[in-house]
Amino acid sequence: MMQMFKVLEPGAYTTIQDRGRLGYQQFGVPITGPVDEFAFRLANLLVGNSEDAAALELTVLGPSLKVLGEADVAVTGAQMPVHRNDEQIPVWISFRVKPGDTIRVRMARKGCRSYLAVSGGIDVPVVMGSRSTYVGAKLGGIEGRPIMKGDVINRGESDLLHAPRRTPVDLVPDYPNRILVRAMAGPQDYHFDEGHETFFNEEFEVTSKADRMGYRLEGPVIKLKEGAPFSIISEPSVPGGVQIPPDGQPIIVLVEQTSGGYSKIATVVSSDIRRVAQAKPGDKIRFELVDLETAHSLFRRQEDLLQRTKELFAT
């Protein structure tokens, strides 16, 4: 373990996340982890880490960090301008920092969340199998909270890169303010008839009630079928589930929810949850109906791209 950063300014909402805390949902502990797993995994690959090493998740506005040790760093995800001292550094590449440097990550120009990875991964205690921060129960990370001014962040032991790494251009996502999200019907789509048509044919706006727990949307009312219940017996929730509460406005469940009692009209395919994660209040979302075979194909394509990148970095 090595001291790596001292927090000068924490940013809007910056937490430590690894790939998640699995196996505790039955006890009311959500999986947490990164909301945009694709950007998170690539950030780690860029600095030579395993894909599940802990990193910082930055929301809207990133932190300012004083560098305490030499390491490789990468920032991926939203287009947040990154400065090493007075030099602007592109995102989606690795760069070397040395003691005395300062890293500043500015306000997002496009997208919502970025990931800052460092050689060796961020080193905090493992709690229930994960280093991820779950603020709702004060678990993981640093005292179960977002980072604060004055915090010292440690990293694990790791060799440094022989040369900088750059993400292939075709893997760098764009973050438009009109977003197409692919989803499968169900598991309670039988509670809807014309509401189903409305959901998959109309556009919805992201409201200010959008966080790691879920995104509340606003748009045409999604009507239940006559006689269908407003609520169901609470059941386990998974990231991507789209709940329809009594007001008919969709809620996309993300990584900090364990159960829910509203009918779910659809489930966002896992490879598109990252598109939701990068949406900001005011952005527009439209849903496209796909089947299970297409969802599997989209997942395999994403994994193939990551595997190709790993092989490229290994050469």
**Under 8 Å CB-to-CB from 24, ≥6 apart: which residues?**
128, 129
Global pTM value: 0.94
Start and end residues for every CATH 2.40.100.10 domain found in the chain: 178-303
Joined together, the tokens standing for residue 25 give 């949902």
Would you state the pLDDT for residue 269?
Answer: 97
- Does residue 21 contact residue 241 with C-beta atoms inside 8 Å? no
Cα(129)–Cα(20) distance, rounded to whole angstroms? Answer: 9
Residue 266 phi/psi, 5-degree rounding, is -160, 170
Pick 178-303's CATH classification: 2.30.30.240, 3.30.70.1520, 1.10.1740.10, 2.40.100.10: 2.40.100.10
Cα(4)–Cα(157) distance, rounded to whole angstroms? Answer: 11
Cα(123)–Cα(265) distance, rounded to whole angstroms? Answer: 40
- CA proximity to 287, closest of 278, 302, 297, 275: 275
- CA proximity to 4, closest of 174, 133, 145, 151: 151
Joined together, the tokens standing for residue 122 give 């961020």
CA 209 vs. chain centroid, Å, equals: 16
pLDDT per residue as tens, the chain (315 positions) = 799 999 999 999 999 999 999 989 888 899 999 999 999 999 999 999 999 999 999 999 999 999 999 999 999 999 999 999 999 999 999 999 999 999 999 999 999 999 999 999 999 999 999 999 999 999 999 999 999 999 999 999 999 999 999 999 888 999 999 999 999 998 888 888 888 889 999 999 999 999 999 999 999 999 888 777 777 777 788 899 999 999 999 999 999 988 888 889 999 999 999 999 999 999 999 999 999 999 999 999 999 999 989 888 887
